[in-house]
Amino acid sequence: MPEDHDIVTERPAPHEIIAPGYTFGSVTDQIASVVLTRRTPIFWFACFSVSIVLLSGFLLAVTVLLAQGVGVWGIRMPVMWGFAITNFVWWIGIGHAGTLISAILLLLNQQWRNSINRFAEAMTLFAVACAGVFPLLHLGRPWLFYWLFPYPNTMGVQPQFRSPLVWDVFAVSTYATVSLLFWYVGLIPDLGTLRDRTQNRFGRYIYGIFAQGWRGSARHWSVYETASLLLAGLATPLVLSVHTVVSFDFTVAIVPGWHSTFFPPYFVAGAIYSGFAMVLALAIPLRSVYGLQGLITDKHLDNCGKIMLGTGMIVAYAYIMETFTAWYSGNTFEGAAIWNRMTGPYASSYWFLITCNIVLLQVGWFKKVRSSPVLLFIWSIIVLIGMWLERYMIIVSSLAQDFVPSSWGIFHATRWDWLTYTGTIGLFLFLFFLFIRALPMISIFEVRTLLPQAKVEEEAGR
Amino acid sequence: MSLPGTYGVMAEFDSPTALVNATRAAHEHGYRKLDAYSPFPIEELNDVLHLHKNKLPLIVLIGGILGGLTGFMLQYYVTVIEFPINIGGRPLNSWPSYVIITFELTILFAALSSVLGLLALCGLPMPYHPVFNVPRFAMASRNRFFLCIEAADPLFDAEKTSEFLETLAPQEVSKVAN
């Protein structure tokens, strides 16, 4: 079939989620060719090199940390959480968009998710891996991490199940496991495609092992569809619970600026806000480098922009309510905590975060911005910075100035703090670009179902 | 029945509609040991092959209930029996604070059982399957649709079944070696 080999490059109409003219064959070839080609774009090598450099910094920082202890970080009394927990919350939040796209949008039957769910789920997985690094290193003796889990031991002690920090261990490890399972189940049919398409013996062997002998039987597809729906149904409450549990780390404590009931929904909205920013920051360069504008269309970017706007407005509402409650509650300490944020030693960070997250958010109302990939990319980077500052503000400013002025202190990040943080960005990019090179970044079989020719034309009278 | 060494006869189609119509015709002709292969899920095939019910939801339900029980019992055992700590006279069985981990383990066990259940119900991993002996079958994961009538079917006869498949306007009909 010669027409199968035509690669579609024309731009689709603004409202389309897939360019016209694709066939089952051309969709398969275009997505699989990113992996099966011998030619790797310069862009890939450039990004991978940057990630290796950052990752080397990470290895250095971790080596120093293990050799000398957590004191190499800027964590001092009273700010013992510092960068580590800021980065943990930031990374976990970024992961949430992937699960939202793959699970919640599947249940809502949003077909545009089909071409962005695969790499968004991979993003989730790698973001959770980066997040997990921080609490582990922050333990001080990371090699004893298994003490976090209940197991019969000769010390005769057990974890405190009434503590949100222990809930976090279970929530995050469950989230990581379920995300991995969901991602792998989604990959099985596409691994079968790669197994059948690759010319490389070694590749056929590896893809074959992971495809487990998938052959696209109708009996298998029937169970497979049930499994996808069930996993989506399980992942939906899970993703909402994870950031809720993370917010419990703060709200259950009585520190002013932390102890409030709106934290769970505020954290979940913030997580999705930053996660969609990361989806856009990854999708926009990838689709132009690999010429995937026909599959990840302007409509996708527009939809992601709208979700960012919606969740961003929830976050803005939370900031306003936080300030209002601090005043309206009449609680001296709550009021002082917010006042210290606005005017104290961290005022510049606070106003910078308000600018990033609330003032600049308003650009999302303009269709011009949402239809311009360049502006969307810049906006998403601003949101990522703003959401990082938000977590920094919540953790550092609340701990630095709590009840008694005699116990106040100021947090100064050290170079090892920065090196560890940028190092996890390197770890994320490293894993992500390996994924781009080795696995199909768009779900091939789900995109096939979007094509008009995938519809079965029933005979009249049936 | 047919010669040993034959798994079945396979017909190739170029559209999902042709596959669904052929599968329906084969089913109406009386064939029961047949399977359709496609590069993406086709809902109409579930109607034709009567595949609407499977045991996966039950497996996941059992997994979820086991997970919830494990989560709660684990916390109850640790905080009440194994390692009781009296903090200000609060009850040892403080069940509201067990809700989170009970919930997490419910989800974890249910998700694991849905993946393991999927593999078990599909009989995966399967390192060898006869359909892969047809060279064109590599296209089943790209843009071709296949219908295979298996030799295990009582109505199967290598010649007659091939002739029957030829009447369904396929691209190609081939024998599947075992």
Pairwise CA distance, residues A200 & A195, whole Å: 9
| Residues in chain B closer than 8 A to A195 (CB atoms) | 141
Q: Is residue A1 part of a domain?
A: no
* Token digits of residue B77: 């055992």
Q: Is residue B169 part of a domain?
A: yes
Alpha-carbon separation of residue A28 from A23, A122, A440 (angstroms): 8, 20, 10
- 3-state DSSP assignment of residue B16: helix
pLDDT of B31 reads 87
Given the DSSP bridges, would you call strands B172-177 and B6-13 parallel, antiparallel or unpaired?
antiparallel
For residue B10, what are the β-bridge partners?
B148, B174
Alpha-carbon separation of residue A418 from A204, A413, A422 (angstroms): 42, 7, 6
Query: Same domain for B68 and B16?
Result: no
Query: Same domain for B116 and B67?
Result: yes
The distance of A221 to chain B (nearest Cα, Å) reads 5
Q: Is residue B1 part of a domain?
A: no
Alpha-carbon separation of residue B94 from A148, A166, B75, B78, B80 (angstroms): 20, 15, 10, 12, 9
CATH number (domain holding residue A130): 1.20.1630.10
Least CB-CB distance to A448: which of B15, B39, B64? Answer: B39
pLDDT of B50 reads 85
Specify the residue for token string 């190609």. B172
**Which residue, of B100, B122, B144, is where some domain finishes?**
B122
Q: Which residue of A has its CA nearest to B95?
A: A162
Long-range contacts: B162-169, Cβ < 8 Å, 24+?
Answer: B162/B9, B164/B26, B164/B29, B165/B9, B165/B11, B165/B22, B165/B26, B166/B11, B168/B11, B168/B18, B168/B21, B168/B22, B168/B25, B168/B26, B169/B18
Q: How many CB atoms lie within 10 A of CB A145?
A: 14
Q: Is residue A460 part of a domain?
A: no
3-state helix, strand, coil in chain B (%, to 5): 55, 15, 35
Q: Which of A428, A439, A438, A435 is nearest to A129 (CA)?
A: A428
Least CB-CB distance to B100: which of A171, A224, A234? Answer: A171
Least CB-CB distance to B108: which of A4, A157, A174? Answer: A174
| Domain around A388 | 8-453
Query: Same domain for B61 and B48?
Result: no
pLDDT of A65 reads 94
- 3-state DSSP assignment of residue A415: helix
Q: Which residue of B has its CA nearest to A155?
A: B83
Q: Which of B28, B8, B7, B36 is nearest to B147 (CA)?
A: B36
Backbone phi, psi, residue A58, to 5°: -65, -45
Overall number of domains in chain A: 1
SS (H, E, C) B38-62: CCCCCHHHHHHHCCCCCCHHHHHHH
Amino acid at position A94, single letter: I
pLDDT of A7 reads 53
Q: What is the pLDDT of residues B109-122, one digit of tens each?
A: 999 999 999 999 99
| Residues in chain A closer than 8 A to B98 (CB atoms) | 161
The tens-digit pLDDT sequence of chain A (462 residues) is 334 444 555 566 667 778 788 888 888 888 888 888 888 889 999 999 999 999 999 999 999 999 999 999 989 888 999 899 999 999 999 999 888 888 888 888 888 888 888 999 999 999 999 999 999 999 989 999 999 999 988 998 899 998 999 999 999 999 999 999 999 999 999 999 999 888 888 988 999 999 999 998 999 999 999 999 999 999 999 999 999 999 999 999 989 889 888 899 999 999 999 999 999 999 999 989 988 888 888 889 999 999 999 999 999 999 999 999 999 999 999 999 999 999 989 999 999 999 999 999 999 999 999 989 999 999 999 999 999 999 999 999 999 988 888 989 899 999 999 999 999 999 999 999 999 999 999 999 998 888 888 888 765 444
pLDDT of A461 reads 42
Cβ–Cβ < 8 Å for A17, A115 = yes
- The per-residue b/e assignment along A279-300, b for 16 or more CB within 10 angstroms, e otherwise, is bbbbbbebbeebebbbbbbbbb
Q: Is residue A279 part of a domain?
A: yes
The distance of A173 to chain B (nearest Cα, Å) reads 9
Long-range contacts: A104-113, Cβ < 8 Å, 24+?
Answer: A104/A232, A104/A236, A104/A239, A106/A228, A106/A229, A106/A232, A107/A229, A107/A232, A107/A233, A107/A236, A111/A17, A111/A450, A112/A17, A112/A299, A112/A300, A112/A303
Overall number of domains in chain B: 2
Q: How many CB atoms lie within 10 A of CB A461?
A: 4
| Residues in chain A closer than 8 A to B76 (CB atoms) | none
Q: Which of B85, B93, B126, B142 to mutate to test the interface with A (most CBs of A within 10 A)?
A: B142
Alpha-carbon separation of residue B89 from A10, B86, B94, B98, B106 (angstroms): 71, 6, 11, 18, 30
Pairwise CA distance, residues B1 & A448, whole Å: 38
Query: Same domain for B118 and B134?
Result: no
- 3-state DSSP assignment of residue B13: strand
**Which residue, of B85, B102, B122, is where some domain finishes?**
B122
| Residues in chain B closer than 8 A to A230 (CB atoms) | 56-57, 60, 110, 114
What ipTM did this prediction achieve?
0.92
The distance of B104 to chain A (nearest Cα, Å) reads 6
pLDDT of A19 reads 79
Q: What is the dihedral of CA A441, A101, B115, A445, to 10 degrees?
A: -50
Strand order in the sheet with B34-37: B34-37, B145-150, B6-13, B172-177
pLDDT of A459 reads 59
| Domain around B60 | 56-122
pLDDT of A243 reads 92
- 3-state DSSP assignment of residue A238: helix
* Token digits of residue A277: 């920013």
Query: Same domain for B41 and B79?
Result: no
Q: For the residues of B50-110, what is the DSSP string, one character each? A: T----SHHHHHHHHHHHHHHHHHHHHHIIIIIIS---STT--S--GGGGHHHHHHHHHHHH
A452 cis-preceded (ω within 30 degrees of 0): no
- 3-state DSSP assignment of residue A213: coil
Query: Same domain for B31 and B73?
Result: no
Least CB-CB distance to A215: which of B104, B110, B140? Answer: B140
Q: Is residue A427 part of a domain?
A: yes
- 3-state DSSP assignment of residue B148: strand
pLDDT of A189 reads 93
* Token digits of residue A14: 């603004």
Specify the residue for token string 């997990």. A132
Amino acid at position B145, single letter: F
Using pLDDT thresholds of 50, 70 and 90, give the confidence band for residue B43: confident
pLDDT of A321 reads 92
H/E segment holding residue B147: strand B145-150
H/E segment holding residue B37: strand B34-37
